[in-house]
Amino acid sequence: MMFQLPKPTNSSVTLVRFFYVGTTKEKQAQVMNIWQNWLPELDKRMTLVVNFYNAEGEGLGIFANGFFYGSPERARKILQPYAKVEGFRVELESLSFLEAVKKIEATYPPSEKFKSTGRFVHRSYSRGELENFTDLIQRPAEGSVYAAISFYALGGEIRSVGKRETAFFYRDARYIMGVQSVWTEDVFARANKDWLRRRFEYIKSITVDSYVNFPISNLRNYEREYFGDNAERLERVNKKYDPFNAFRFRQGLR
């Protein structure tokens, strides 16, 4: 059997990175507001992840990275709304796709101890709600070295595929909101997990359904939360191809 890889449509991509000098809680809320107004009309050639964090030894910060399948000059224009917040700094680099992926990969440690979760966002939030989001990371858990709320852009071509055509149901969501805490010493694991679970309860109250790649235990009706209206069909598929439930885990299809 042979597989033919698709030919790349672009010989290079623009690696996009931006951050802010002198981040404050107020700046985090401002940038969150820019994001939610900017994303719906975003050029589908760009995708970003924006992290609003509180790191040991650094304090509050905002950092974004992603790809733009176009020129650095055009990417800079697309990002102009973010420059309205004081301290904005942007780095744009034209690279091959593989080189860009390797640069993103290099920002992650070889391993880390963390807990994260994610939910789908379908609406805009008030200034008060955005300030509530920033409040979530102002007091990290004991032993935490990094706590963050992350916004993962959706859009692009994701809506060109029907909800029922693949297992991924939430194709009309605006973005994924993730929450994360990282620690280094095992003694702090419980405190960090409890910290995240409490914050998840608030995020859950103002979002719809959970992202399966960021699973969280004790989630009620997890099949529906992760797979939406596709859950029942996926369970039938699972019973057909894995009748003895050999591939199972705590939140597996039943």
Three-state SS at 88:
strand
135: left (phi over 0), alpha (psi -120 to 50) or beta: alpha
Neighbours of 167 (CB within 10 A): 15
Does residue 115 lie within any of the structural domains?
yes
pLDDT value at residue 4? 73
pLDDT value at residue 127? 96
- Residue 38 CB burial class (10 angstroms; 0-12, 13-18, ≥19): middle
Mean pLDDT for the stretch of residues 125-146: 97
pLDDT value at residue 249? 87
Does residue 228 lie within any of the structural domains?
no
Task: Look up the domain containing 128 and give its range.
Answer: 13-216
Is the Cβ–Cβ distance between 143 and 183 less than 8 Å? Answer: yes
More confident of the two residues 3 and 244: 244
Tell whether the model's pLDDT for residue 64 goes beyond 60. yes
Does residue 165 lie within any of the structural domains?
yes
pLDDT value at residue 205? 95
Q: How far is CA 165 from CA 57, 207, 232, 239, in A?
A: 46, 24, 14, 19
| Both structure tokens of 223 | 């099949």
Share of the chain above pLDDT 70, in %: 96
**Coarse DSSP helix, strand, coil percentages of the chain, rounded to the nearest 5 percent:** 35, 25, 40
Mean pLDDT for the stretch of residues 205-227: 93
Any idea what the CATH number is for the domain that residue 171 is in?
3.40.462.20
Please tell me the distance from the alpha carbon of residue 48 to that of residue 151, in angstroms, as a whole number.
Answer: 8
Does residue 222 lie within any of the structural domains?
no
Mean pLDDT for the stretch of residues 216-220: 89
Tokens 């992350």 belong to residue: 150
Mean pLDDT for the stretch of residues 94-98: 94
Does residue 118 lie within any of the structural domains?
yes
Does residue 99 lie within any of the structural domains?
yes
Q: What is the DSSP letter of 208?
A: E
pLDDT value at residue 8? 59
Mean pLDDT for the stretch of residues 126-145: 97
0.85 exceeded by pTM: yes
Tell whether the model's pLDDT for residue 43 goes beyond 70. yes
Residues in the chain: 254
Tell whether the model's pLDDT for residue 1 goes beyond 80. no
Does residue 85 lie within any of the structural domains?
yes
Neighbours of 120 (CB within 10 A): 20
Does residue 236 lie within any of the structural domains?
no
More confident of the two residues 2 and 135: 135
pLDDT value at residue 10? 57
pLDDT value at residue 254? 80
Q: How many domains does the chain have?
A: 1
Mean pLDDT for the stretch of residues 91-119: 94
Neighbours of 192 (CB within 10 A): 23
Mean pLDDT for the stretch of residues 114-119: 96
Share of the chain above pLDDT 90, in %: 89
Beta strands in the chain (DSSP E): 13-20, 46-55, 59-68, 88-95, 113-121, 144-153, 175-183, 208-210
Packed helices 127-135 and 25-38: angle between N→C axes, nearest 10 degrees: 130
| Both structure tokens of 242 | 């894995």
